[in-house]
Amino acid sequence: MEHKETDLIGSQSQIKSKERVSKHGEVFTADREVNAMLDLVKPETERIESRFLEPACGNGNFLANILQRKLDVVAHRYGKKIADYQLNAWLATSSIYGIELLMDNVEECRLRLFSILHKNYQALFSGADGVADAFFVSVRYVLSHNICWGDALTARTPSPASHPIVFSEWSLVGRRVKRRDFTLDSLMHNQPLQEANLFSDLGDAAFIPKPLREFPLTDYLNVADYGE
């Protein structure tokens, strides 16, 4: 399996073009500022299962740094055994969510996060890619659902084919995953103000509305079998 490498953590520039700045207000946050802000919630960025949602994720400056911090913890705790590392690295990746208006950024962010995971994996288990094919397929599938194309302000994809943004919740039960899909609108708007939601980083019981769809339990390496 071939894996294209891309810029992993810091972006090369804070803008892609003046036209994009003018049309979309697109200016990426510099790596120094990203880390300074993440340090304000440092314990959560190092909690493997803590969920993060970036509602205007661009090509992933915040999410890339969060994932790297989580993977550092995974490597420290579980880096001696491939099976344990894979399970917890998968959990760390499945806890990261993003919304982005521009599709090229969505695709770049997904690839960037996958490349970070792949590079970290190779650093620990060089030459072991062959036994990790199912793991990599599963991670790619999760990222394709967690990094979403859309507008966080409207909770929908852009017109003309507008539809609600849908996120998947991935809950581990041992090695098996319980997947439930929710619309972004139901997660962020239709809940008591006092309650936390799916993306709570408080470590307390979260308010979860009625899911759009529920899926049967499956091994975490087989989530791609769910299909679209």
Question: What is the pLDDT tens value at each position of the chain, 228 positions in all?
Answer: 344 444 455 444 555 555 544 444 555 566 787 788 888 999 999 999 999 999 989 899 899 999 999 999 999 999 999 999 999 999 999 999 999 999 989 999 999 999 999 999 999 998 776 778 999 999 999 999 999 999 999 999 988 889 999 999 999 999 999 999 999 988 876 544 344 455 554 555 555 678 999 999 999 999 999 987
Q: Does 76 fall in a domain?
A: yes
In a domain, 129, yes or no: yes
Cα 75 from Cα 82, distance rounded (Å): 10
A 10 A CB-CB count for 81 gives 10
Which pLDDT score, from 0 to 100, does residue 4 have?
42
Pure H helices in 25-179: 31-39, 42-45, 61-78, 82-94, 103-124, 133-146
> Rounded to whole angstroms, how far apart are CA atoms 187 and 167?
9
Dist. CA 217–CA 67, nearest whole Å: 25
pLDDT at 194: 40
Rounded to whole angstroms, how far apart are CA atoms 146 and 91?
A: 12
What confidence score (pLDDT) does residue 210 get? 86
91 within a domain of the structure (yes/no)? yes
Q: Please give the tally of structural domains in the chain.
A: 1
Structural domain contains residue 43: yes
Residue 123, in any domain of the structure: yes
Instruction: Identify whether 66 is part of a domain.
Output: yes
- Residue 5 has what pLDDT? 42
* Closest CA relative to residue 187, chosen from 160, 155, 227, 214: 155
Is 204 part of a structural domain of the chain?
no
* Owning domain of residue 134: 18-165
Residue 2 lies in a domain: no
Nearest Cα to 150, choosing from 201, 113, 98, 93? 98
